[in-house]
Amino acid sequence: MSEHRVGIIMNGVTGRMGTNQHLIRSILAIRDQGGVKLLNGDTIMPIPTLMGRNEAKLKALCTMHNVENYGTNLDELLADDQQQIYFDAQVTGRRHQDVKKAIEAGKHVYCEKPTGVNTAEALDLFHLAESNGVKHGVVQDKLWLPGLLKIKRLIEAGFFGKILSVRGEFGYWVFEGHSVPAQRPSWNYRKEDDGGIIVDMLCHWRYVLDNLFGEVKAVSCLGATHIPERIDEQGKAYQATADDAAYATFELADNVIAHFNSSWTVRVRRDDLLSLQVDGTKGSAVAGLRECYTQHYGNTPKPVWNPDVAQPIDFFDGWSKVPEQEVFENAFKVEWELFLKHVVLDEPFRWGLLEGAKGVQLAEKGIESWEKRAWVDVEPLL
């Protein structure tokens, strides 16, 4: 038995997502469990080096979480042969230049979404990685959420029959900051800083739709900036120049229709922050982040429209909770383990930079649709 030590440059882990999901709940969780266990008894042990521009924050993270190494000079870290993987969770505008550097330095790359500020940038990284022979991956975390995994199992079992439509509701109220502090960073609401919910969420919906329900063929999207002024981290008012809500309809392969409302200006009265309903000829399911409920054809009620009497049907009856049939780990951690096995063992990993580019493409097409007030086709990238 042997231990495969894999050095990882983790750039941008001082941000909320980088710290919580990628550093603490993924890489450090893998480290603390003794590495990724392989079938032959070997292990893969990730060795993180934290990278960023704020040395004080990096030192504090290292001290808090027993991480030995950090750096503020990316060129120096990329020159270190002990570093095999470069991970990027920076703001979108810095991603292309630094991921490109890492690829040219011969590092395998794994990065957050969007993988570029436009499709051309995202595709450039894919072609560059392919031509340099490095392995590459993009975070597609929602594919490993327990609720969506349960939907996937239902699809595999033929529960739905012919899938007809998919409806997603995502979002919550992000406070403006005037009286209650905002719970998202201010750059999210500035177009000039690559903010906006269309850019953020349509990248997610692309891989969810493509992987579970069918390839996206066309999009109709309406964006909105419902809250025009917000308060930033320094307590100063600023104009929100990016969209904070998006209402998008997608045409998928095999005539499946999907609609997703994405909003940071909505108050939640549903099962979870993300709710996904799938309707098919034989049954329906509603999933949140973790739970999933189904209603089969045989349990479907037969309502009659009559607004003059109280509704006699409790529409929550007749739905069954999908039982826990497997152990679900943190979605980010699951994909990290798959990517580490891809790097060390060359195991298949299909969520690479081309998939990331598809997400950026759909976001661009969504914005184009909004600007044109029209349906826009989504052509194959290759």
Q: For residue 114, is the peptide bond before it cis, meaning its omega torsion is within 30 degrees of 0?
A: yes
Give me the pLDDT at residue 1, please. 78
**Residue 123 corresponds to which tokens in the numbers above?**
């595709």
* pTM, full prediction: 0.95
DSSP letter at 27?
A: I
Tell me the three state secondary structure of residue 224: strand
**Rounded distance between C-alpha atoms, residue 101 and residue 128, angstroms:** 10
Residue 15 neighbours by CB under 8 Å, 6+ apart: 89, 90, 185
DSSP assignment of 196-213 equals: -HHHHHHHHHHHHHHHHT
Cβ atoms of 199 and 364 within 8 Å: the answer is no
Give me the pLDDT at residue 190, please. 97
**Residue 279 corresponds to which tokens in the numbers above?**
């309707």
**Rounded distance between C-alpha atoms, residue 13 and residue 215, angstroms:** 32
Cβ atoms of 341 and 137 within 8 Å: the answer is no
Which residue in 332, 336, 335, 276 sits closest to 154, CA to CA? Answer: 276
- Per-residue pLDDT reduced to its tens digit, 55-87: 999 999 999 999 999 999 999 999 999 999 999
Cβ atoms of 147 and 287 within 8 Å: the answer is yes
Q: For residue 301, is the peptide bond before it cis, meaning its omega torsion is within 30 degrees of 0?
A: no
Give me the pLDDT at residue 247, please. 98
Sign for the pseudo-dihedral over CA of 328, 330, 335, 337: negative
At position 82, the amino acid (one-letter code) is Q
Profile the chain (382 residues) by mean pLDDT over runs of 10 residues. Answer: 95 93 98 96 97 95 96 97 97 95 98 96 98 98 98 98 98 97 96 96 98 98 98 97 98 98 97 97 98 97 94 94 94 98 97 98 98 98 92
Structural domains in the chain?
3-141 (3.40.50.720), 142-330+361-376 (3.30.360.10)
The two beta strands, 274-280 and 257-263, are unpaired
Give me the pLDDT at residue 369, please. 98
Give me the pLDDT at residue 182, please. 97
Cβ atoms of 82 and 8 within 8 Å: the answer is no
